[in-house]
RNA sequence: GCCCCCAUCGUCUAGCGGCCCAGGACGUGGCCCUCUCAAGGCCAAAACAGGGAUUCGAAUUCCCUUGGGGGCACCA
C-alpha cells in the first residue's frame, strides 16, 4: 500500500526454462515501474533450482528481452549487487541451512517415502475421489530417529509441517483477504532428495534475504500463497505485500495459449514471445504500452504512454484482477502510434536492419528521406521493406498486366508513359512540387483520371501497385532513374 | 473430484451508491479527405451474465446460480 512514497524492492524471478513471453514482460514491467516510481530497486533473480528443466540460453534471452523493452534492472546475475548471488543455483547451501532451521523449530520434518510409494498413495486417493495429497506417513518420526536414518544414508526430503487445523488468511493487494482451511493444504516438499530446494522454500528465503517489499507475480501462484505465508510465519519473517496479477488468455478469451495456438499465431505474424515480436517489426515502446494496459489502466481515456509516462502514472491501485484476452490488433495500433512518434532519423535507423535482413543494401541518407513518407503507412517495421524496397533496387520489374490497368488499353497506357516522359524530362528542379504541377495539368488535358495516370506511373516507377506517394517517391529516386524506368515500361508494353 | 480466483460492448477497459437509459480505445460498418496504400476527421452499431437481498436510490454492497480461469509434482 505504501506505494509512491517508500522506495520498494521488487524482484522479477523467472525460471530459465523457455522463451520470455508477454506475461513475463508485463510482470517485469510493473516491477520496474513501481521501483522507478518509488525510487526503489528492481531485481532480476534467476530461479534455476530445477536442473532438469534448465534451457541453455534462456537466461540470456530473458536479459536481452528486458533490455530491449527498456526494463532495466538494478541488481541481477550479470551485474551483481549487494544481495547476490542472483542465481538460485548458486545459493543451494543457503536454502538447506534454512530448511534445517525449520526442522529444528518443528515447522518441517524429514520424510523417507519413496516416489513409488507416493505414486501409489496418490493413485489410491484418486480412486477414492480424494484430492491427492501427502498422507503424513513420516510426519511424526522423531527427529533423533530421522537423523539416524539419514546418517545411514537413507534418501530423504524435507517437508513443511502444515497445520492440520484452523485456517490461514493472507491478503492480496488486488483481492483482499483470502482464507483457506489448512486441511486443504499439503505437507509440501521444501528440499528434494538431491538436496536442492524447491521454489516454495527458495523464493521465500531469497525474498526475505533480498529484502523484497512487494512480490508481484502471476495469479497461478495464488493457490500456494497460504503456504508461502505459512513459511514466512514459521521463520518469523515479515511478509511482503502480495500482488497477484491476472493471467493472459488467448485472443478469443477462452482459455490460455496452447502450443498449437502459438504456432497458429505466428502464421498471422503475431507471437507471444518477446524475441519474435522484435523480429516481427514491433517497437519495444509499443509492446510496453500495449502490455501495460492489459490489467492496468490510467483513466477513462488516456492510452498512449511512453515508458517515462508510465513511471509517472503507474500505481498498484489501478490494477485489475480479472483475466485479460490478448488483443493483437491493438498491438498493431500501438505500434503505428509509436512509429509515428519516432523522429525521421530514428525511424530510418530502426527499419534499416529489416532491409539488410532481406539482402537489400541501403544508404543512410536516402533512408532518412524515405522515413517520413513511410511513417504513416506501416504498422510494423518489417512492412517497410515491402513498401520501400524499390528505392534501393537497381531494377524494378513491373508486370505488364499491372502497367495496363483495367479500363485502359495498352496503347493508352503507353501514351500516358510517353507523355509523362516528355513532361518530366522538361522539369528542371526535380522536386515533388515541380514535377507534380505539370503532371496535374496533363491529367486535366488528357481526359484520363488522376487515378489512371498516376496509377500507371506508380507501377512503372516503383514496380508496385501500392507505394508511398508518387511524387515524393520520384523526388527521392531522382529524375534520371525515373525517366529510365518510364522508358523501360514503354518497352515492356511494346514487347507484348 | 477438491481448493482458490474472476465476471461492464467481440476484445482491452473507465466506473469505487445518485454525475450512467454506462465513458474511452482496438476491431467492425458508413461518410469525408485522396495518385495507390495508409494516416487523419466525422458518424454508427455494440455491454453492466442471471436471480434474490440491502437501500429513497445499485454496474457499483451482500448472498446464490451460471459461466470462465488458475491450482492440486522430489516444476516454477
Contacts of A491 (CB under 8 A, 6+ apart): none
Q: What is the pTM of this model?
A: 0.95
Beta strand A157-160 pairing with A108-111: antiparallel
Smallest CA–C1' separation from A194: which nucleotide?
B74
Residue A74 placed within a domain: no
Among the three residues A245, A266, A296, which one is the final residue of a domain in this structure?
A245
Report the nucleotide nearest the CA of residue A304, measured to C1': B25
Q: Kindly state whether residue A401 falls inside one of the protein's structural domains.
A: yes
Query: Å from A430 (CA) to B6 (C1')?
Result: 63
Of A225, A245, A265, which residue sits at a domain end?
A: A245
Instruction: Tell me whether residue A315 is in a domain.
Output: no
How many domains are contained in chain A?
2
Domain presence at residue A386: no
Per CA to C1' distance, which residue is closest to B74? Answer: A192
Expressed as residue numbers, the domain containing A155 is 91-245
Residues 6+ apart with CB under 8 A from A180: A167, A168, A226
What's the CATH code of the domain at A427? 1.10.10.350
Residues of A annotated catalytic, as ranges:
259
Q: Which nucleotides of B are covered by protein (CB under 7 A)?
A: 1-8, 10-16, 23-27, 34-40, 68-76
Q: Whose C1' is closest to the CA of A294: which nucleotide?
A: B12
Instruction: Report if residue A12 sits inside a domain.
Output: no
Per-residue cell: A68: 530491449
- Give the CA-to-C1' distance from A397 to B32 in angstroms: 36
Q: Is A196 inside any structural domain?
A: yes
Task: Tell whether A42 is covered by a domain.
Answer: no
Residue A357 host element (H or E): helix A344-357
Residue that finishes a domain, picked among A245, A267, A284:
A245
Exposed/middle/buried for A446, CB within 10 Å: 0-12, 13-18, 19+? middle
Residue A94 and residue A207 in contact, taking contact as beta carbons nearer than 8 Å: no
In tens digits, chain A (496 residues) has pLDDT values of 444 479 999 999 999 999 999 999 999 999 999 999 999 999 999 999 999 999 999 999 999 999 999 999 999 999 999 998 999 999 999 999 999 999 999 999 999 999 999 999 988 888 888 888 999 899 999 999 999 999 999 999 999 999 999 999 999 999 999 999 999 999 999 999 999 999 999 999 999 999 999 999 999 999 999 999 999 999 999 999 999 999 999 888 777 887 888 888 888 899 999 999 999 999 999 999 999 999 999 999 999 999 999 999 999 999 999 999 999 999 999 999 999 999 999 999 999 999 999 999 999 999 999 999 999 999 999 999 999 999 999 888 898 899 998 889 999 999 999 999 999 999 888 999 999 999 999 999 998 999 999 999 999 999 999 999 999 999 999 999 999 999 999 999 998 7
Helix ranges, A136-194 (H):
143-151
One-letter-per-residue 3-state SS of A388-443: HHHHHCCCCCCCHHHHCCCCCCHHHHHHHHHHHHHHHHCCCCCCHHHHHHHHHHHH
How many alpha carbons fall within 13 Å on the CB side of residue A91?
Answer: 29
So what's the ipTM on this one? 0.96
Q: What is the CATH number of the domain that holds A127?
A: 3.90.800.10
Spanning CA of A258 to C1' of B8, the rounded length in angstroms is 28
C-alpha cell at A433: 512540387
Distance from CA(A321) to C1'(B55), angstroms, rounded: 28
Residue A115 lies in a domain: yes
Amino acid at each position: 500500500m505504501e506505494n509512491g512514497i517508500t522506495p520498494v524492492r521488487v524482484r522479477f524471478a523467472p525460471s530459465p526454462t523457455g522463451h520470455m513471453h508477454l506475461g513475463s514482460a508485463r510482470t517485469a514491467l510493473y516491477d520496474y515501474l513501481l521501483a522507478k516510481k518509488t525510487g526503489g530497486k528492481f531485481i532480476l533473480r534467476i530461479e534455476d533450482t530445477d536442473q532438469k528443466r534448465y534451457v541453455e540460453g534462456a537466461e540470456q534471452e530473458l536479459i536481452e528481452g528486458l533490455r530491449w523493452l527498456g526494463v532495466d534492472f538494478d541488481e541481477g546475475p550479470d551485474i551483481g549487487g549487494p544481495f547476490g548471488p542472483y542465481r538460485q543455483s548458486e545459493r543451494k547451501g543457503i536454502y538447506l541451512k534454512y530448511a534445517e532451521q525449520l526442522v529444528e523449530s518443528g515447522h518441517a520434518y524429514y520424510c523417507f517415502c519413496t516416489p513409488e510409494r507416493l505414486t501409489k498413495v496418490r493413485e489410491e486417493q484418486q480412486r477414492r475421489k480424494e484430492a491427492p495429497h501427502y498422507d503424513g506417513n513420516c510426519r511424526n518420526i522423531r527427529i533423533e530417529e530421522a537423523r539416524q536414518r539419514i546418517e545411514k544414508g537413507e534418501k530423504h526430503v524435507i517437508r513443511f509441517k502444515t497445520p492440520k487445523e484452523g485456517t490461514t488468511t493472507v491478503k492480496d493487494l488486488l483481492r483482499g483477504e483470502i482464507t483457506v482451511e489448512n486441511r486443504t493444504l499439503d505437507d509440501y516438499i521444501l528440499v528434494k532428495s538431491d538436496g536442492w530446494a524447491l521454489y516454495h522454500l527458495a523464493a521465500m528465503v531469497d525474498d526475505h534475504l533480498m529484502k523484497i517489499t512487494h512480490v508481484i507475480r502471476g495469479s497461478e501462484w495464488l493457490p500456494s500463497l497460504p503456504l508461502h505465508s505459512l513459511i514466512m510465519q514459521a521463520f518469523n519473517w515479515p511478509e511482503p505485500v502480495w500482488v497477484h496479477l491476472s493471467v493472459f488468455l488467448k485472443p478469443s478469451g477462452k482459455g490460455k495459449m496452447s502450443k498449437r495456438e502459438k504456432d497458429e499465431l505466428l502464421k498471422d505474424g503475431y507471437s507471444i514471445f518477446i524475441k519474435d515480436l522484435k523480429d516481427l517489426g514491433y517497437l519495444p515502446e509499443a509492446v510496453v504500452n500495449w502490455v501495460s494496459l492489459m490489467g492496468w489502466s490510467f483513466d477513462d481515456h488516456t492510452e498512449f504512454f511512453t515508458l517515462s509516462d508510465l513511471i509517472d502514472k503507474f500505481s498498484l491501485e489501478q490494477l485489475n484482477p480479472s483475466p485479460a484476452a490478448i488483443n493483437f490488433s491493438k498491438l498493431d495500433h500501438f505500434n503505428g502510434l509509436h512509429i509515428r512518434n519516432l523522429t525521421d532519423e530514428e525511424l530510418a535507423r530502426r527499419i534499416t536492419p529489416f532491409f539488410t535482413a532481406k539482402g537489400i543494401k541501403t544508404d543512410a541518407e536516402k533512408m532518412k528521406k524515405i522515413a517520413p513518407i513511410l511513417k504513416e503507412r506501416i504498422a510494423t517495421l518489417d512492412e517497410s521493406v515491402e513498401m520501400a524496397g524499390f528505392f534501393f533496387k537497381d531494377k524494378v520489374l513491373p508486370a505488364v498486366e499491372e502497367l495496363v490497368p483495367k479500363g485502359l488499353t495498352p496503347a493508352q497506357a503507353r501514351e500516358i508513359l510517353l507523355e509523362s516522359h516528355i513532361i518530366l524530362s522538361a522539369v528542371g528542379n526535380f522536386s515533388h512540387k515541380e514535377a507534380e504541377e505539370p503532371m496535374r495539368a496533363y491529367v486535366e488535358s488528357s481526359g484520363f483520371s488522376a487515378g489512371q495516370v498516376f496509377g500507371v506511373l506508380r507501377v512503372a516507377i516503383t514496380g508496385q501497385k501500392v507505394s508511398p506517394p508518387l511524387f515524393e517517391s520520384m523526388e527521392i529516386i531522382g529524375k534520371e532513374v525515373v525517366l529510365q524506368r518510364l522508358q523501360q515500361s514503354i518497352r515492356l508494353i511494346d514487347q507484348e
